[in-house]
Structure 1
Amino acid sequence: MDGALWMYALLALTTAPPLVPNAALIASAGALAQEGKLSLPLVLLVVAGSALAGDALVHGAGRLAGPRALRRLNRRPRRRAALAWMAARMHSHGLPFVIGIRFLPSGRLVGGLAAAVVGYPARRYLLGAAIAEAVWASYSVALGYWGGSALHGTWPSLALGTAVSAVVACVAQLLTRLGRPASGPTRTVARGPAAAGALRSGARDAVPAGSPPTA
């Protein structure tokens, strides 16, 4: 039981902060749940819940550091353009965009900070983040659970979980790139009170209406 508690704690500690690579650990937890050594519902709850808690902390940090974050982002044109593009998408597409951005590389960190800086409603952001984390936790744990059963071992499921997580990130990035139009009119896309502050600070970047700038 002590070992199980340590595993749950390790899952929470490595899942809550963004940019911590723990796909192998989550797959391992799924495999252990398949063997009966961990509770599958509890593993899902810990993984999804700690990820959502991390998203909430990132969003809260973004709200507290709003003006300072804007000043740092305004130093580089690409970052200003990326913020403006993201602000427009959040306000025009809402929850689907908040959910989708979680599956892009660094999406948890960038999405949470951007939502706070551009003034996107916190409740709606957390709702979208909760849906995204539930989906992510389900397939991430399932990879280890079913992989451990089919491949008869924890290590194969670790490799499978890491590989599939990488594939998902690559596919999300590819879909984003394919969604860029070849050409089109430009417009200023910053919206919301915080984004308006960015514009007053010099973040008047006109970017293609449908293309995500690279940070």
Structure 2
Amino acid sequence: MLDLLADLLHATVASPWVYLVLFAVSAIDGFFPVVPSETLVITAGVFAVSGRPELGAVIVVAAAGAFAGDHVSYLLGRKAGTPLIERIPPGSRKRRSFDWATTSLHERGGLVLVVCRYVPGFRTATTVTVGAVRYPLRRFSLFDAVGTCSWALYSSLVGYLGGRVFEQDPIKGLLLGLGIALTITVLVEATRWYRRRRRPDPDSSLESTA
């Protein structure tokens, strides 16, 4: 059964159409985070051990798709997010929290964009928010290029590593690659949660400076 599944996956991933699918899924995941782009990129990386698909092409196509999808998310935030924000009453707790978040993005936006690219779901929320606060498009594109390229390289190589370790059993290689990716995601999320716990409340910061 596993051999049949491996042959089916290999036949699908080895098809020339895989690059179009890879681009589309990576792009859609940028603004509709139900689509599991990491899984597809890691799977392509596993089977790239055999030479089909080509590892370099997988990295380039995945990065290009993710870059395009993130910009759709950014533009959605820029068009639809700002009117919603303007309805928040000035001086309210929600408005003060938003102003504090806006300042944080402008001060550390590059780091936030790159790190959140590795956390499924949060990447969309981040890019929409970045667009809503009108973070400069040129800076967003620069940092997003760094994030998407490093993400595509990481996901592809994780799959490729799993494929190398279990070259004769690609299903195990895929499971290893997904396990590594899940572990790293959990570590990133745990670090983010810990830092958030230690971060001062924006309201208290504002009150202390009042």
TM-score between both structures, scaled by the size of structure 2: 0.76
Once residues 131 and 125 of structure 1 are traced to their aligned partners in structure 2, the CA distance between those partners, rounded to angstroms, is 10
Q: Does structure 2 retain, via aligned residues, the 8 Å contact 1:24–1:161?
A: no
Q: Does structure 1 retain, via aligned residues, the 8 Å contact 2:22–2:40?
A: yes
Of 184, 195, 198, 1:168 maps to: 184
Q: Does structure 1 retain, via aligned residues, the 8 Å contact 2:77–2:132?
A: yes
| One-letter code aligned to 1:168 | I
Once residues 168 and 82 of structure 1 are traced to their aligned partners in structure 2, the CA distance between those partners, rounded to angstroms, is 29
Deviation by residue 1:122-171 (Cα, 9 ceiling, x = unmatched): 11111111111111111110111121111123212221232222222211
- Tell me the residue number matched to 1:8: 19
- Deviation, structure 1 residue 207: 6.4
Match of 2:17, SS state, is helix
Stretch deviating more after TM superposition (51-60 or 31-40) = 31-40
| One-letter code aligned to 1:11 | L
* Unmatched 5+ stretches in structure 1: 188-205, 210-215
Q: Say whether residues 1:154 and 2:170 are aligned partners.
A: yes
Match of 1:104, SS state, is coil
- Deviation, structure 1 residue 10: 1.5
Match of 1:175, SS state, is helix
Once residues 118 and 98 of structure 1 are traced to their aligned partners in structure 2, the CA distance between those partners, rounded to angstroms, is 14
- Tell me the residue number matched to 1:201: none
Q: Does structure 1 retain, via aligned residues, the 8 Å contact 2:78–2:133?
A: no
- Tell me the residue number matched to 1:50: 65
Match of 1:16, SS state, is helix
In structure 2, the CA distance between the partners of 1:122 and 1:167, relative to structure 1 (3 Å rule), is same
Deviation by residue 1:30-81 (Cα, 9 ceiling, x = unmatched): 122210111211111011110011001111111121334436888xx99767
| One-letter code aligned to 1:161 | G
- Tell me the residue number matched to 1:135: 150
Q: Say whether residues 1:37 and 2:58 are aligned partners.
A: no
**Equivalence map 1:1-215=2 (5 Å):** 4-18=15-29, 19=33, 20-70=35-85, 83-152=98-167, 153-180=169-196, 182=198, 184=200, 186-187=201-202, 206=203
Once residues 116 and 96 of structure 2 are traced to their aligned partners in structure 1, the CA distance between those partners, rounded to angstroms, is 16
Stretch deviating more after TM superposition (134-143 or 25-34) = 25-34
In structure 2, the CA distance between the partners of 1:40 and 1:78, relative to structure 1 (3 Å rule), is farther
Q: Does structure 1 retain, via aligned residues, the 8 Å contact 2:46–2:161?
A: yes
Relative contact order, CA 8 A, sep 6+: which one is greater?
A: 1
Once residues 93 and 22 of structure 2 are traced to their aligned partners in structure 1, the CA distance between those partners, rounded to angstroms, is 35
Once residues 56 and 134 of structure 2 are traced to their aligned partners in structure 1, the CA distance between those partners, rounded to angstroms, is 35
- Deviation, structure 1 residue 208: 6.0
Q: Does structure 1 retain, via aligned residues, the 8 Å contact 2:48–2:54?
A: yes
| One-letter code aligned to 1:7 | V
- Deviation, structure 1 residue 175: 0.9
Stretch deviating more after TM superposition (108-117 or 65-74) = 65-74
Deviation by residue 1:88-131 (Cα, 9 ceiling, x = unmatched): 22111232222122223422211111111112111111111111
Q: Does structure 2 retain, via aligned residues, the 8 Å contact 1:32–1:38?
A: yes
In structure 2, the CA distance between the partners of 1:49 and 1:83, relative to structure 1 (3 Å rule), is farther
